[in-house]
Structure 1
Amino acid sequence: MSELPSVSRRLLLGGAVASGALAVGVGGGPAHAATAAEQAPRRRPGQKSMIGVPFDPHSTVRVGIIGLGNRGSGMSLGWAAVPGCTVTAVCDIRADRAKRTADRLVSRGEPRPAEYGGTADAYTRMLRRDDIDLVYIATPWEFHHEHGKAALLSGKHAVVELPVATELRHLWDLVDTSERTRRHLLLAENCSYGRNELAMLKMAHDGLFGEITNGHGGYQHDLRELLFSDTYYTDSWRRLWHTRSTASLYPMHGLAPIAAAMDINRGDRMTTLAATATAPKGLADYRARFVPRDHPSWKETYVNGDLVTCLIETDQGRVIRAEHDVSSPRPYSRINSLAGSRGILEDYTGPAPTGARIYLEPDHSGHSWRDFGAYRKDFDHWLWLKVGDDAANNGGHGGMDYVMQWRTVQSMRAGLVPDIDVYDSAAWCSAVPLSAASLARGGRPVEVPDFTRGAWRKPRAGLDSEPVDMPPVG
């Protein structure tokens, strides 16, 4: 996107509080008189839950894409590679990006998609088409709510990059819009389809960790060079978020797999969140050492902490620690650690192929870590066994992008219930505004809304799906 609207500090701080989804007591802590379910806005007449609602079967899934920067343009090739899926339209405020993406698809032997662009509302023209079933949204974060809601209102399903929205009122709006339109909105949480993450999920559900007590996930990725690049993030949109407020801006890649292993929204739910933040030193230090003094970033003041940690408690007494750090010098990690009464898994601790270590009773003793490789082989998710080779050839991030795309298309073509629904998407993304609200209160806990409106108590399937064949093409 070439033109970004001004975004005030209210977007996170004021927006979280003004949404009405946080209850704050007289003393400044969480109010215990009202439950999160009671705080939920009432459903309109005729509005019903989307839990357990399958897609209508599609012989072919026709995808329209909004946002064709690095992420959107790359993912367009993955969508087109999935059997029974075609990209019918592409859109970006910069028309040359739409043309470039269309050219790339044609060069791969795909039909040329319709091109939209040149104006901020070009996506609205694309959404009027009747040959789009699914809209994939990869625009800057501040546009995700607007674009996701518009896709639902146009009668299409939506897959939205992280986060689906940055304000609680907007998260509730997406939940309600999905329920009213009877269309699914899904977070494009590709890391939930990571090979280690899915194996960990199966192990947890098979009881190998015993009673799950805690988990640790997050997003630790040194983005300093890319954040100060003049070409990678258009108009520096991602760096500018660090000038607006103190919040955990992007913890979902680590939080979501831990939440899935704990059956969040499927027998347990997140109840409170308390956040801490270190001082904002990393970006200013990097700028001082590597960025010329005439660069526009020198007019910016960075306020977001380098490491923002969320401590989340659940109804069943479990604890999740979710971290976000993109401004410190460190190797990449999503942490991905799960522990229970009979053992623990810690990912990102060693060399390939798994980079993970494990300790389980009664298999292990002597207080010595063991390699995770044998367990992953035994608990490899059927999706990776079925499409892992294709994923290596067609998807980024180690293939999990393609696995997510393949599974989404399969679910739509076979008429299945989605693995990830709008309630999961809202809960996982609520860490963004809730962390801002907690930090504004000195780190005191704030309540996590119940986006399911009480339906979380009923166990149900999610990412722990049963093997299903992709319907034949043609």
Structure 2
Amino acid sequence: MRTMDDQHRTSPWNQPDQPDRPDQPDRRRLLGGLLGTGAATALAAGCASGGPLAPLPTGNKSAMGLKALPLAEVRVGLIGVGQRGAELAQTLCRLEGVRITAIADIDPQALDKTLALINQARAPRPEVITGSSGAWERLIARTDVDAVIIATPWELHTPMAVAAMKSGKHVFIETPAALTINEAWLLVDTAEATQRHCMMLESCCYGREEMMLLNMIRQGLFGELVHAEGAYFHDLRQQLKDLERGPGSWRTLRYTQHNGNLYPTHGLGPIAQYFGIHRGDRFEYLNSQSSNARGLAAYANRELPANHPHSRLRFITGDVNTSVIKCASGRTVLLQHDTSTPRPYSRLSTVVGTNGMFSGFPDRMAVEMLDGKKIMQSSNGSREAFREWDTQMDPWFARFDHPVWKQLGTQAQQGGSAGMDFVMLWRVIYNLRQGQPMDQDVYDAATWSAVLPLSCESVADRGNAKDFPDFTRGRWKRE
């Protein structure tokens, strides 16, 4: 779906408000009922670590460990079926106990492509809702939709999610879930008020390597964790050529508006799982620095014709952003972002503990003790194995492969994103059908997304620390 103007900006790094368009829902009307609750209170109080916690709004109930009534069949509505939405639709068609009942978009080509994929999977044809930018509102009003998946441009995620939860639907949002701290609080307050699931679809939490690493950590292989590193290194310069459709048609403008980590959750989501964030630990504050912005301009100058609209843009996003996060436990996280240089893809995927470490891209490990004994490498047992990388991962997978991947691996690997999408959506549907909590909740979605505005604010303030709001209102210590 195409971009709608973001009508509720509160952070200094955002652009000024734009006037409402007559063909779009009034976002202030849509969200205004929540602005007098915990979100406004939280912003006024600051919600810094060590500062006053935002009170739970009257009538709200914590969404930690939220369970909803089990669903025999999960009826899904998809809002936005461009590239990402079409991929998710294709994966859903391979799962049991789920049916896509409606899809909404204003791009006929995207709709036709998604319908063809659904037909190819021999799944029932969903209702198609289109014709205006209000199509998504008609989808969430339907009585044959239990859960809504939102795969639209970033600025639409929060208003659509809030409206869907207020309509009684569970919500699953593509990354990031929110662009501002205010939006993150709106998601939290709405999930608590409606008692509906609000989960960010961070598929990298479900990769085979990430889930094996989670299993290793839970079994204590690396000892006590002290540090982790994550990143999103992905050469996306070619997206500058997108105009009519494709992520570059809307994402490119983000590089002219913000200077920070624009896409933190691929690297950060798995780390939050490893560290038990909101389950005994929390992110407290962040320091961030950006390099100068050169890569996109150089690419545009070389690859785009002079009359191309994107050739005239002024890019301000630093080519490499580096942020350091401090946790309440004392652990640290190094988080980086680079989508503007010809760097090979990587998410770093590194954890460091008192008994060893793991690092990804390519996968390699160094472990000192296993089963109570030092791992020795030389034939006479004189050299400790951890002094060199172990790149032979098959034995480690044989022992520590996550049970979910052992169960689903063959099916998962037939799908896209190296099987991550299949495992992620399988877990979502399983939990909805069983009436179980989601693997990630609204507090995770809010906190992981908060890196974007906090990093921008830190960069603009010479790298000074910016506090994470405690979206759990202190419950991370006791629930």
> TM-score, length-normalised on structure 2?
0.88
Provide the rounded CA distance (Å) in 2 between the counterparts of 1:6 and 1:157: 23
Residue 370 (str. 1) matches residue 393 (str. 2)? no
Which secondary structure does the structure 1 equivalent of 2:93 belong to?
A: helix
Residues 386-412 of structure 1: CA distance to partner in whole angstroms, max 9, x if unpaired?
A: 11111122x211011010000100001
Provide the rounded CA distance (Å) in 1 between the counterparts of 2:69 and 2:473: 24
What amino acid maps onto 1:161 in structure 2?
Answer: E
Residue 388 (str. 1) matches residue 409 (str. 2)? yes
Q: Which residue does 1:403 correspond to in 2?
A: 423
| RMSD of equivalent CA atoms | 2.3
Residues 436-464 of structure 1: CA distance to partner in whole angstroms, max 9, x if unpaired?
A: 111121110011111111111136xxxxx
Q: Which residue does 2:27 correspond to in 1?
A: none
* Among 365, 373, 397, the residue aligned to 1:357: 365
Residues 295-331 of structure 1: CA distance to partner in whole angstroms, max 9, x if unpaired?
A: 1112210000011111000011000011111011111
Shift of 1:37: 7.0
- Structure 1 residues 13, 204: CA separation in 2 closer, same or farther (over 3 Å shift)? same
* Among 125, 141, 151, the residue aligned to 1:138: 151
Residue 305 (str. 1) matches residue 305 (str. 2)? no
Tell whether the 8 Å contact from 2:56 to 2:473 is kept in structure 1 after alignment: no
Residue 424 (str. 1) matches residue 437 (str. 2)? no
Provide the rounded CA distance (Å) in 2 between the counterparts of 1:12 and 1:107: 47
Which secondary structure does the structure 2 equivalent of 1:88 belong to?
A: strand
Shift of 1:227: 3.5
What amino acid maps onto 1:359 in structure 2?
Answer: V
Shift of 1:356: 3.3
Shift of 1:247: 1.6
What amino acid maps onto 1:47 in structure 2?
Answer: N
Provide the rounded CA distance (Å) in 2 between the counterparts of 1:244 and 1:445: 21
What amino acid maps onto 1:387 in structure 2?
Answer: L
For structure 1, the 5+ residue unaligned runs are: 25-30, 350-354, 460-474
What does 1:447-462 correspond to in 2, within 5 Å?
447-458=467-478
Shift of 1:75: 1.0
Provide the rounded CA distance (Å) in 2 between the counterparts of 1:3 and 1:314: 35
Q: Which residue does 2:235 correspond to in 1?
A: 222
* Among 209, 223, 233, the residue aligned to 2:246: 233
Q: Which residue does 1:464 correspond to in 2?
A: none
Which secondary structure does the structure 2 equivalent of 1:81 belong to?
A: coil
Shift of 1:243: 0.2
What amino acid maps onto 2:204 in structure 1?
Answer: C
> TM-score, length-normalised on structure 1?
0.89
Structure 1, 292-301 or 211-220: larger mean CA deviation: 292-301
Provide the rounded CA distance (Å) in 1 between the counterparts of 2:355 and 2:245: 45
Residue 199 (str. 1) matches residue 212 (str. 2)? yes
Provide the rounded CA distance (Å) in 1 between the counterparts of 2:43 and 2:335: 20
Provide the rounded CA distance (Å) in 2 between the counterparts of 1:338 and 1:186: 25
Provide the rounded CA distance (Å) in 2 between the counterparts of 1:162 and 1:92: 18
Provide the rounded CA distance (Å) in 1 between the counterparts of 2:330 and 2:245: 42
* Among 455, 469, 473, the residue aligned to 1:435: 455
Provide the rounded CA distance (Å) in 2 between the counterparts of 1:19 and 1:219: 32
Tell whether the 8 Å contact from 1:213 to 1:341 is kept in structure 2 after alignment: yes
Shift of 1:73: 1.1
Provide the rounded CA distance (Å) in 2 between the counterparts of 1:312 and 1:425: 17
Residues 324-351 of structure 1: CA distance to partner in whole angstroms, max 9, x if unpaired?
A: 11011111001100001110101102xx
* Among 373, 398, 414, the residue aligned to 2:434: 414
- Structure 1 residues 8, 57: CA separation in 2 closer, same or farther (over 3 Å shift)? closer
Shift of 1:23: 9.1
Provide the rounded CA distance (Å) in 2 between the counterparts of 1:37 and 1:183: 29
Which secondary structure does the structure 2 equivalent of 1:103 belong to?
A: helix
Provide the rounded CA distance (Å) in 1 between the counterparts of 2:329 and 2:344: 33
Provide the rounded CA distance (Å) in 2 between the counterparts of 1:163 and 1:286: 26
Shift of 1:55: 2.8
- Structure 1 residues 209, 3: CA separation in 2 closer, same or farther (over 3 Å shift)? closer
* Among 287, 292, 317, the residue aligned to 1:274: 287
What amino acid maps onto 1:335 in structure 2?
Answer: L
Q: Which residue does 1:71 correspond to in 2?
A: 84
Provide the rounded CA distance (Å) in 2 between the counterparts of 1:90 and 1:158: 14
Residues 72-119 of structure 1: CA distance to partner in whole angstroms, max 9, x if unpaired?
A: 011101112111111000001224433442233123211110001121
Shift of 1:289: 1.5
Tell whether the 8 Å contact from 1:23 to 1:446 is kept in structure 2 after alignment: no
Shift of 1:226: 2.6
Q: Which residue does 2:28 correspond to in 1?
A: none
Shift of 1:359: 3.4
Residues 346-365 of structure 1: CA distance to partner in whole angstroms, max 9, x if unpaired?
A: 1102xxxxx33333333352
- Structure 1 residues 4, 234: CA separation in 2 closer, same or farther (over 3 Å shift)? farther
Provide the rounded CA distance (Å) in 2 between the counterparts of 1:35 and 1:326: 30
Aligned length: 444
- Structure 1 residues 380, 196: CA separation in 2 closer, same or farther (over 3 Å shift)? same
Provide the rounded CA distance (Å) in 1 between the counterparts of 2:164 and 2:341: 36
Q: Which residue does 2:226 correspond to in 1?
A: 213
Which secondary structure does the structure 2 equivalent of 1:36 belong to?
A: coil
Q: Which residue does 1:251 correspond to in 2?
A: 264
- Structure 1 residues 3, 161: CA separation in 2 closer, same or farther (over 3 Å shift)? closer
What amino acid maps onto 2:472 in structure 1?
Answer: T
Shift of 1:376: 2.4
For structure 2, the 5+ residue unaligned runs are: 16-38, 377-383
Provide the rounded CA distance (Å) in 1 between the counterparts of 2:427 and 2:204: 13
Tell whether the 8 Å contact from 2:240 to 2:310 is kept in structure 1 after alignment: no
Structure 1, 79-88 or 221-230: larger mean CA deviation: 221-230
What amino acid maps onto 1:399 in structure 2?
Answer: G
Provide the rounded CA distance (Å) in 1 between the counterparts of 2:249 and 2:358: 37
- Structure 1 residues 335, 234: CA separation in 2 closer, same or farther (over 3 Å shift)? closer
Tell whether the 8 Å contact from 1:37 to 1:454 is kept in structure 2 after alignment: no
Which secondary structure does the structure 2 equivalent of 1:109 belong to?
A: coil
